Structure 1
Amino acid sequence: MADDYPYMISNNKISPIIDAIHSAAKPSKFSHEFLKQIGFSSSNDRAVIPLFKRLGFIAENGAPTNFYDDLKDTTKRASALGARIRDLYSELYAINTKIHNANEDVIKGAMSRVTGKDAVSVSRYYMTFKTLCGLAKFDAPQIQHEESIEPPPVKVKENGGATTEVPQMAAPSQAGFHYNIQIHLPATTDISVYNAIFKSLKDNLII
Structure 2
Amino acid sequence: MTNSSKVDSSDKSDSAPLATEKLGEEKTERREIKGGIPYTVAPGVLKKALESIIVAERPDKFGANYMATILKLTGGAAKAVPPFLKKMQFIGADGTPTLLYSRFKTDGGRSQAAYDGLKNAFGELFRRNEYIHRSDENGVKDTIVEITGLKKNDPIVRLMYLSFDAVRSFVSGEVSKQPEMIKQEPEFEGAIEKTETKKPGADLGIGLSYQINIVLPETENIAVFNAIFKSLRDNLLR
The answer as to 2:168 corresponding to 1:133 is: yes
Question: Does the C-alpha gap of structure 1 residues 104 and 140 become closer, same or farther in structure 2, counting only changes over 3 Å?
Answer: closer
Residues 1:61 and 2:113 are matched in the alignment: no
The answer to whether the 8 A contact 1:15-1:135 is kept is no
* Structure 2: gaps (5+ residues): 1-14, 16-33, 179-238
Change in Cα spacing, 1:76 to 1:4, as seen in structure 2 (3 Å) is same
What stretches of structure 1 of length at least 5 have no aligned partner? 144-207
From 22, 26, 29, the equivalent of 2:54 is 22
**Cα distance in structure 1, aligned partners of 2:124 and 2:38:** 14
**SS of residue paired to 1:121:** helix
Q: TM-score, normalising length from structure 2?
A: 0.52
State how far apart, in whole Å, the 2-side matches of 1:103 and 1:19 are: 22
Aligned to 2:59, the other structure's residue is in SS state: coil
Name the count of aligned residue pairs. Answer: 143
Secondary structure (helix, strand or coil) at the match of 1:17 reads: helix
C-alpha RMSD of the superposition? 2.5
What is the percentage of aligned positions where both structures have the same residue? Answer: 23
CA-CA distance at 1:56 after TM superposition: 0.4
Normalising by structure 1, what TM-score?
0.59
1:70–1:109 Cα change, 3 Å: same
Show structure 1 runs of 4+ deviating over 6 A: none
The yes-or-no answer on 1:12 pairing with 2:44 is yes
Instruction: Report deviation, 1:71.
Output: 1.8
8 Å Cα contact 2:39/2:160 also seen in 1: yes
Residue 162 of structure 2 aligns with an amino acid whose one-letter code is M
Matched, 1:75 2:108: yes
Moved more, 43-52 or 87-96: 87-96
Q: Give the match for residue 181 of structure 2.
A: none
1:142-190 deviation per Cα after TM superposition (whole angstroms, max 9, x unaligned): 79xxxxxxxxxxxxxxxxxxxxxxxxxxxxxxxxxxxxxxxxxxxxxxx
- Structure possessing the higher radius of gyration over alpha carbons: 1
Q: Which amino acid in structure 2 is aligned with residue 131 of structure 1?
A: A
Contact 2:89–2:120 (CA under 8 A) maintained in structure 1 = no
TM-superposed CA distance for 1:23, in Å, is 3.0
Higher helix share goes to which structure?
A: 1
> What letter matches 2:169 in structure 1?
G
Report what 1:48 is aligned to: 81
Q: Which amino acid aligns with 2:79?
A: R
